[in-house]
């Protein structure tokens, strides 16, 4: 079995289960996780080499030094005596930092782009110290990286606009586990409007709260459940109180993946009202939308970024203009008022996931990509 270095600075985040789900589904490649810090438990039986282990009493020090230096030496030290055949970095930021390591090891580097790394303007990247080296080194990555995978067709077009070479940029949907995620029974459904996202501007959560306030009086049993953590949480909680419906708006913070799936199976719909920020940042695709679809739950999304690749308008859900609470409230109200429409759209969403976004099939295609590089 070939050895794959799976490179992500902040490993095992609750908000990024798709990274480990893909890696653990590999059949011909054994993943070894490489990163700076652990933010959760690794998958059962998985092995991780993490810089924080180099100085357990000062866990942030090796990570900070690597952020500033981009030196491959800490990873070379931890990898001593091991062989890697290929490195796969998740996010363009990681690609820039993994490039020197791949060069020293003499192995190909694959980089997957998920959203901000292909859409955020350079000034926005430079404003964040953790992303500044990426902003300055993206051109080098484009020239020297072996292959670039875009999580949606939209992101592929963004990368081409950034002068990434067309022959080395492929669209690859990571997919969702349609075997582990079974379609829910209609009897489980409740009038829950579910939103799962980091609480950041790009996710448009503010507009969902405003939309809910417009229909709350009409749909007295409906509840808005928001799962996620982020810098906007306090302001969103304040906005919920200002609507007068705070008793029906639950902001739960981050939750384990299994609990998120349980909420999806109860929800009447999943809503992703993302927006294009002034800094250019847009949604790459929206993995939570795909997981909800796999559960048989219809979706409502804003017509920005790659969201339209996950929702088939009028078939598996609705697309609405960004930053438009009135249009969003109309779509929500339409689904709440039509149980048969929700069921029909949810069943169509499930079929679409099985046909086009199945994790097993998509991971097999990824391994073919790896094989082609190594051949």
pLDDT values of the chain reduced to their tens digit, one per residue, 375 residues: 999 999 999 999 988 999 999 999 999 999 999 999 999 999 999 999 999 999 988 989 999 999 999 999 999 999 999 999 999 999 999 999 999 999 999 999 999 999 999 999 999 999 999 999 999 999 999 999 999 999 999 999 999 999 999 999 999 999 999 999 999 998 999 999 999 999 999 999 999 999 999 999 999 999 999 999 999 999 999 999 999 999 999 999 999 999 999 999 999 999 999 999 999 999 999 999 999 999 999 999 999 999 999 999 999 999 999 999 999 999 999 999 999 999 999 999 999 999 999 999 999 999 999 999 999
- Do 30 and 154 sit in the same domain of this protein? yes
- Do 18 and 94 sit in the same domain of this protein? yes
Please indicate, yes or no, if residue 90 is contained in any of the structural domains.
yes
- Do 227 and 268 sit in the same domain of this protein? yes
- Do 13 and 81 sit in the same domain of this protein? yes
- Do 87 and 118 sit in the same domain of this protein? yes
C-beta separation of 225 from 263 below 8 A: yes
**CA nearest to 120, candidates 273, 323, 321, 278:** 278
- Do 190 and 166 sit in the same domain of this protein? no
pLDDT value, residue 89: 98
- Domain encompassing residue 263: 186-356
Distance (Å, rounded) from C-alpha 85 to C-alpha 76? 14
In sequence order, the β-bridge partners of residue 21 are none
Q: What's the structural domain count of the chain?
A: 2
Please indicate, yes or no, if residue 71 is contained in any of the structural domains.
yes
- Do 220 and 162 sit in the same domain of this protein? no
Please indicate, yes or no, if residue 133 is contained in any of the structural domains.
yes
What residues contact residue 273 under an 8 Å CB cut-off, 6+ apart? 195, 203, 204, 205, 207, 208, 211, 300, 301, 302, 320, 322, 328
Please indicate, yes or no, if residue 165 is contained in any of the structural domains.
yes
- Do 171 and 24 sit in the same domain of this protein? yes
Please indicate, yes or no, if residue 223 is contained in any of the structural domains.
yes
Please indicate, yes or no, if residue 291 is contained in any of the structural domains.
yes
> Length of the chain in residues, anyone?
375
- Do 93 and 222 sit in the same domain of this protein? no
Cα 133 vs. chain centroid, distance in angstroms?
A: 22
- Do 70 and 108 sit in the same domain of this protein? yes
pTM above threshold 0.85: yes
CATH number at residue 115: 3.40.50.2000
Please indicate, yes or no, if residue 58 is contained in any of the structural domains.
yes
Burial of 278 (0-12, 13-18, 19+ CB in 10 A): exposed
Cα angle vertex 264, ends 341, 303, to 5°? Answer: 65
Please indicate, yes or no, if residue 7 is contained in any of the structural domains.
yes
- Do 229 and 340 sit in the same domain of this protein? yes
pLDDT value, residue 90: 98
- Do 345 and 236 sit in the same domain of this protein? yes
């Amino acid at each position: 079995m070939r050895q794959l270095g799976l490179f992500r600075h902040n490993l095992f985040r609750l908000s990024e289960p798709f990274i480990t789900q893909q890696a653990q589904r590999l059949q011909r490649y054994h993943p070894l996780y490489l990163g700076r810090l652990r933010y959760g438990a690794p998958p059962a039986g998985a092995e991780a080499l993490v810089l924080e282990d180099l100085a357990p009493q000062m866990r942030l020090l090796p990570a900070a030094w690597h952020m500033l230096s981009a030196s491959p030496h800490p990873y070379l030290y931890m990898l001593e005596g091991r062989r890697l055949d290929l490195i796969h970095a998740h996010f363009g930021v990681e690609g820039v930092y993994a490039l020197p390591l791949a060069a020293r090891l003499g192995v190909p580097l694959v980089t997957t782009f998920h959203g901000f790394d292909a859409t955020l303007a350079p000034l926005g990247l430079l404003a964040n110290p953790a992303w500044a080296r990426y902003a300055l080194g993206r051109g080098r990555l484009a020239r020297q990286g072996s292959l670039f995978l875009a999580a949606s067709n939209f992101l592929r077009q963004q990368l081409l606009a950034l002068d990434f070479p067309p022959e080395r940029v492929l669209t690859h949907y990571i997919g969702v586990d349609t075997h582990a995620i079974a379609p829910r029974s209609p009897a489980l459904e409740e009038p829950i409007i579910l939103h799962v996202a980091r609480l950041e501007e790009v996710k448009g959560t503010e507009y969902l709260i405003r939309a809910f306030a417009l229909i709350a009086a009409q749909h007295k049993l409906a509840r808005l459940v928001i799962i996620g953590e982020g810098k906007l949480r306090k302001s969103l909680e304040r906005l919920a109180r200002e609507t007068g419906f705070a008793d029906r708006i639950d902001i739960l913070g981050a939750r384990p993946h299994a609990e998120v799936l349980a909420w999806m199976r109860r929800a009447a719909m999943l809503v992703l009202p993302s927006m294009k920020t002034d800094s250019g940042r847009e949604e790459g695709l929206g993995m939570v939308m795909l997981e909800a679809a796999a559960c048989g739950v219809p979706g409502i999304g804003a017509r920005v970024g790659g969201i339209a690749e996950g929702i088939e308008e009028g078939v598996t859900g609705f697309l609405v203009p960004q930053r438009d609470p009135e249009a969003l409230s109309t779509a929500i109200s339409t689904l709440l008022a039509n149980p048969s429409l929700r069921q029909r759209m949810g069943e169509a969403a499930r079929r679409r996931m099985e046909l086009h976004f199945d994790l097993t099939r998509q991971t097999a295609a990824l391994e073919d990509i790896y094989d082609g590089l190594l051949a």
